[in-house]
């Protein structure tokens, strides 16, 4: 969760030159936008278009469909105005009417997902991401861009972002009210003809012995063992060798083609898939050892696992965008030297708006995900995760990839530190700043410089 927010924060800071304290409130906005899909009856003004908390009328469906189309077209419009709607940002030349038809069709797809996907929280995440991607760049166009043109100092830009933070926060409060809200999540999901409990945690037990290790996955409710596999150290080494070989093959394949995924990303993905596939086949059933060298238990629900996979997928998409697309190269060039990028012919204005769109998209999806994790929606929820996000960005070195590294360092320190010291849960956020201070004392420029 820290990484999802820190990505947008670092992009905006390194490319648009805005230390955006309002980014946390963009996550809050994203969390509340998902309510329009998940529980439209609890949203002011939209509640008159529902017959129940999650049962909209035909008029309500039309409103959601229209919001999906308008948000999608608004997002594209922010990339360059009417010309962007007509395909000016496309990497290939296409007839302008055809580009407009494609964009309207894309908006119709988003609108259909919003209207027909109700009350799915997955549909809510997509809808929230598109809406915030359209609204986020308004800050750049009407506020930050105006101040940048006046060449104000970084400290003054920080004050402006604080002002925007309060404007966003209390606008959300004015619309949705100050009462605590929550999503309505289905505890069970039908998948391939079987019912999967999304909320109840599963136990992942690991037992290490001199000859290898045992992994068991069990359901605490039914007490059923879902997986039981023992791996000798030799078989585990062979699994690693097989995964590395498949990963290297994927890397070499990508180096010789023009696939969408980069060589390192493709190699990592196929290597992990190969490792998991061989692990499922190679594990042999065994009983729990009586005196293991070390044993531990990890508790994880299907819902939390989905959120982890979602976050990793979004990071992978960002990596692909930065490394394999023209926009990504322009973003990296602008981040490195804005003036030189402009001299070389890069439209830094369009790149800046593209960064705000991406930051809004990630904030919208991240905010809805944050609401799922927290279980409740509060007006201040984005601000409290903003502090660890800033710590992560600074620890990483104020670069996009540094933000990812810093996020995992800060996030693990927050979760593990309170048990290692030991401290109460109220000290979770201060642990992030302990790590920040230690890193800056040793390496003031951050991990990636």
Q: Where are the domains of the chain?
A: 2-186+306-377, 188-302, 380-449
Q: Which helix (H) or strand (E) holds 197?
A: strand 194-197
Quickly state the pLDDT bin for 215 (edges 50, 70, 90): very high
Q: Which residue has the tokens 């093959």?
A: 249
| pLDDT confidence of residue 193 | 54
CB-based contacts of 441-448 (< 8 A; 24+ apart in sequence): 445/397, 446/394, 446/395, 446/396, 446/397, 446/398, 446/399, 446/402, 446/406, 447/395, 447/396, 447/397, 447/402, 447/405, 447/406, 447/409, 448/396, 448/397, 448/399, 448/401, 448/402, 448/405
Cross-strand pairs, 343: none
What average pLDDT does range 226-231 have in this prediction? Answer: 90
What one-character DSSP code corresponds to residue 397?
T
Output 158 or 400, whichever has higher pLDDT: 158
Output 321 or 259, whichever has higher pLDDT: 321
Quickly state the pLDDT bin for 70 (edges 50, 70, 90): very high
Q: Which residue has the tokens 């990483």?
A: 396
Q: Contact at 8 Å (CB) between 196 and 302?
A: yes
Token pair belonging to 34: 């998902």
Tell me how far apart the alpha carbons of residues 186 and 373 are, in angstroms, rounded to a whole number. Answer: 14
pLDDT tens-digit map of 95-117: 888 999 999 999 999 999 988 88
By percentage, how much of the chain surpasses pLDDT 90? Answer: 28
Quickly state the pLDDT bin for 233 (edges 50, 70, 90): very high
What one-character DSSP code corresponds to residue 39?
-
Tell me how far apart the alpha carbons of residues 242 and 260 are, in angstroms, rounded to a whole number. Answer: 24
**Least confident among 68-82, 142-156, 174-188, 334-348:** 174-188
| pLDDT confidence of residue 362 | 92
pLDDT tens-digit map of 273-298: 999 898 888 888 888 888 899 999 88
75-98 burial string, b = 16+ CB within 10 Å, else e? bbbbbbeeebbbbebeeeeeeeee
pLDDT tens-digit map of 112-168: 998 888 888 888 999 999 999 999 899 998 999 899 888 888 889 999 999 999 999
Q: Which helix (H) or strand (E) holds 242?
A: helix 233-255
Q: Contact at 8 Å (CB) between 49 and 63?
A: yes
Output 376 or 260, whichever has higher pLDDT: 376
Quickly state the pLDDT bin for 425 (edges 50, 70, 90): confident
| Average pLDDT for the chain | 85
Tell me how far apart the alpha carbons of residues 432 and 449 are, in angstroms, rounded to a whole number. Answer: 19
Closest-CA residue to 143 (of 169, 176, 168): 168
Quickly state the pLDDT bin for 169 (edges 50, 70, 90): very high
């Amino acid at each position: 969760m820290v990484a999802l927010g820190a990505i947008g924060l670092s992009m905006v800071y390194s490319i648009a030159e805005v230390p955006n304290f309002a980014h946390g409130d963009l996550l809050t906005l994203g969390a509340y936008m998902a309510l329009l899909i998940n529980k439209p009856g609890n949203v002011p003004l939209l509640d008159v278009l529902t017959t129940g908390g999650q049962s909209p009328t035909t008029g309500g469906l039309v409103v959601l469909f229209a919001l999906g189309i308008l948000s999608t077209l608004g997002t594209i419009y922010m990339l360059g105005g009417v010309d962007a709607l007509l395909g000016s940002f496309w990497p290939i030349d296409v007839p302008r009417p055809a580009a407009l038809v494609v964009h309207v069709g894309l908006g119709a797809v988003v609108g259909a997902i919003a209207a027909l996907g109700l009350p799915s929280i997955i549909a809510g995440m997509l809808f929230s991401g598109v809406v915030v991607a359209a609204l986020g760049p308004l800050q750049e166009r009407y506020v930050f861009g105006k101040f940048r043109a006046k060449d104000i100092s970084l400290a003054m830009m920080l004050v402006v972002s604080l002002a925007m933070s309060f404007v966003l926060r209390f606008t959300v409060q004015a619309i949705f009210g100050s009462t605590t809200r929550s999503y309505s999540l289905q505890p069970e999901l039908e998948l391939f003809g079987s019912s999967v409990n999304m909320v109840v945690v599963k136990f992942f037990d690991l037992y290490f012995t001199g000859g290898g290790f045992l992994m068991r996955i069990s359901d605490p409710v039914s007490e059923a063992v879902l997986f039981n596999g023992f791996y000798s150290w030799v078989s585990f080494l062979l699994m690693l060798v097989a995964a590395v070989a498949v990963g290297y093959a994927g890397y070499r394949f990508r180096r010789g083609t023009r696939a969408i995924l980069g060589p390192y990303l493709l190699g990592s993905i196929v290597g992990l898939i190969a490792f998991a596939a061989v692990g499922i086949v190679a594990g042999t059933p065994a009983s729990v050892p009586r005196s293991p060298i070390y044993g531990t238990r990890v508790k994880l629900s299907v819902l939390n696992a989905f959120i982890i996979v979602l976050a990793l997928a979004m990071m992978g998409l960002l990596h692909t965008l930065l490394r394999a697309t023209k926009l990504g190269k322009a973003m990296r060039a602008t981040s490195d030297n804005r003036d030189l990028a402009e001299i070389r012919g890069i439209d830094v204005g369009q790149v800046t708006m593209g960064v705000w769109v991406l930051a809004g998209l990630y904030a919208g999806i991240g905010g809805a995900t944050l609401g799922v994790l927290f279980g409740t929606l509060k007006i201040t929820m984005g601000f409290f995760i903003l502090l660890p996000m800033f710590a992560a960005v600074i620890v990483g070195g104020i670069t996009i990839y540094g933000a990812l590294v810093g996020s995992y360092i800060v996030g693990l320190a927050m979760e593990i530190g309170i048990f290692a010291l030991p401290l109460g849960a109220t000290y979770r956020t201060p642990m992030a700043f302990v790590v920040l201070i230690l890193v800056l004392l040793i390496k003031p420029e951050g991990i990636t410089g």
